[in-house]
Amino acid sequence: MGNRTIRVTDVTLRDGMHAVRHQFSVEDARAIAGALDRTGVAIIEATHGDGLGGSSVQYGFSKETEEDYLRAVCETVRNSKVAALLLPGIGTVEHMKRAADTGIQVIRVATHCTEADISEQHIGEARKMGLETVGFLMMSHMVPAGVLVEEAKKMASYGAQTVYVVDSAGAMLMGEVREKVTALREALPDEVEVGFHAHNNLGVSVANSLAAVEAGATRIDASLAGLGAGAGNTPLEVFAAVAEKAGIDTGVRLYPAMDAAEDVVRPRMARPVQTDRVSLTMGYAGVYSSFLLHAFRAAEQFGVDARDILVELGKRKVVGGQEDMIVDVAVELAKRKEVGAAGR
């Protein structure tokens, strides 16, 4: 049985940004951060959905600058620490320095699950800046536990104090979560924590997060009302209740978390975050959750079914950073449809 005291990182203001096309205002960020701080959650992550430097043509522009969001969150919170996400290649050491100047205390460095080596410089620099440093292995469902362990060891050797198994596609079931978290826990030095980040595409984010804790994870990600890419993340208020019943101390106060989800986040949702036919297809086909709104847009533009786009992306094993492939696949499917119709 895993550790009974864990720390939760809330990602409403970062992963949740995908679900609102990165359009929260600074005032939204203040309201959500204030409500989160009152829940007692340990860490609040904020930034563009794709991390520092994400605001761009490729990933979509944020409503406000990342420094403005981070400054607003840092000014608002009294108890929680503030984190930013950084994907090397999208964000640079310079972005990280500017983020540190706003007052954040935690940086999470994310790479595809086979590319930990590109995180060395960022993790090293983050430690030198005195930031609590987390490694984040995205699309962890794509490789066997042994490969994930080798990548996690690299992040730990660069200085990461926690390494996350990240189910970016919401494609994992409890057995796989247990296997991968156990493998990392056994392979990493005791002082390096193991974390887990879920997406609810198959409807099992809470069960997977609980399985992760039972397997030794001491860091879990969640978001208010599950706001996040695809079918969203582990809902913070649900996880807080489930964890309490399971005897796990998350430090999250249940009623304030429920109230923050209902009163502060749900009214700000651009569309409901749910396991519907398209987000369910992401979990089923193993596709990066942040492709959801891009796939909807391409489906509409080229007159094809978003599910067909996602299944094809899954077959091609497309990963984060290959957003341009969504349009390529949609164009191809539209052409096939045209040829099929002409042949009839």
Ligand X SMILES: C[C@H](O)CC(=O)C(=O)O
Chosen residue from 8, 12, 14, 15 binding Mn ion by CB under 5 A: 15
Q: What angle do CA 253, 254, 255 make, to 5 degrees?
A: 105
Contact predicate 230/199, CB 8 Å: yes
Residues 6+ apart with CB under 8 A from 306: 278, 281, 295, 296, 298, 299
**What pairing do the DSSP bridges indicate for beta strands 7-13 and 43-46?**
parallel
CA distances from 220 to 152, 240, 328 (A): 17, 11, 35
Q: Which stretch binds ligand X (CB under 6 A): 45-53, 96-104, 126-134, 146-154?
A: 45-53
β-strand partners of 165: 137, 196
* CA distance linking residue 131 with residue 135, whole number of Å: 12
Q: Is 167 in the site for Mn ion (CB under 5 A)?
A: no
110 binds, among ligand X, Mn ion, none (CB under 5 to 8 A by kind): ligand X
Q: Is 10 in the site for Mn ion (CB under 5 A)?
A: no
Q: In the stretch 301-340, what mask flags binding to ligand X with x, by CB under 6 A?
A: -------------------x--------------------
Q: Is 50 in the site for Mn ion (CB under 5 A)?
A: no
Q: In angstroms, what is the C-alpha Rg of the chain?
A: 19
H helix runs in 191-305, sequence order: 205-214, 236-245, 254-259, 277-285, 292-302
Task: Provide the sign of the torsion angle of the four alpha carbons 303, 304, 307, 309, taken in this order.
Answer: negative
Residue type (1 letter), 241: A
The residue (of 235 and 256) whose beta carbon lies closer to ligand X is 235
Chosen residue from 47, 223, 275, 290 binding ligand X by CB under 6 A: 290
Chosen residue from 50, 151, 214, 237 binding ligand X by CB under 6 A: 50
Q: Is 47 in the site for ligand X (CB under 6 A)?
A: no
Which residue is it, tokens 């430097």?
A: 53
216 binds, among ligand X, Mn ion, none (CB under 5 to 8 A by kind): none
Total interface residues for ligand X by CB under 6 A: 14
Q: Which of 18, 48, 122, 141 is catalytic?
A: 18
Is 48 an active-site residue? no
State which residue has the least CB distance to ligand X: 168
Site for ligand X in 221-280 (CB under 6 A): 229
Q: Which stretch binds ligand X (CB under 6 A): 46-54, 171-179, 255-263, 308-316?
A: 46-54
The residue (of 49 and 256) whose beta carbon lies closer to ligand X is 49
Cα torsion through 177, 180, 181, 186, rounded to 10: 150
Chosen residue from 55, 168, 218, 223 binding ligand X by CB under 6 A: 168
The residue (of 50 and 176) whose beta carbon lies closer to ligand X is 50
49 binds, among ligand X, Mn ion, none (CB under 5 to 8 A by kind): ligand X
* CA distance linking residue 187 with residue 216, whole number of Å: 12
Chosen residue from 15, 37, 193, 312 binding ligand X by CB under 6 A: 15
* CA distance linking residue 229 with residue 232, whole number of Å: 5
Chosen residue from 8, 31, 36, 138 binding ligand X by CB under 6 A: 138
CB of 47 to Mn ion, least distance (A): 12
Helices (H) and strands (E) in the chain, counts: 14, 8
The residue among 96, 85, 88 whose CA lies nearest residue 46 is 85
Residues at the contact surface with Mn ion, assessed by CB under 5 A: 15
Residues at the contact surface with ligand X, assessed by CB under 6 A: 15, 49-51, 87, 110, 138, 166, 168, 197, 229, 289-290, 320
Q: Which residues are catalytic?
A: 18
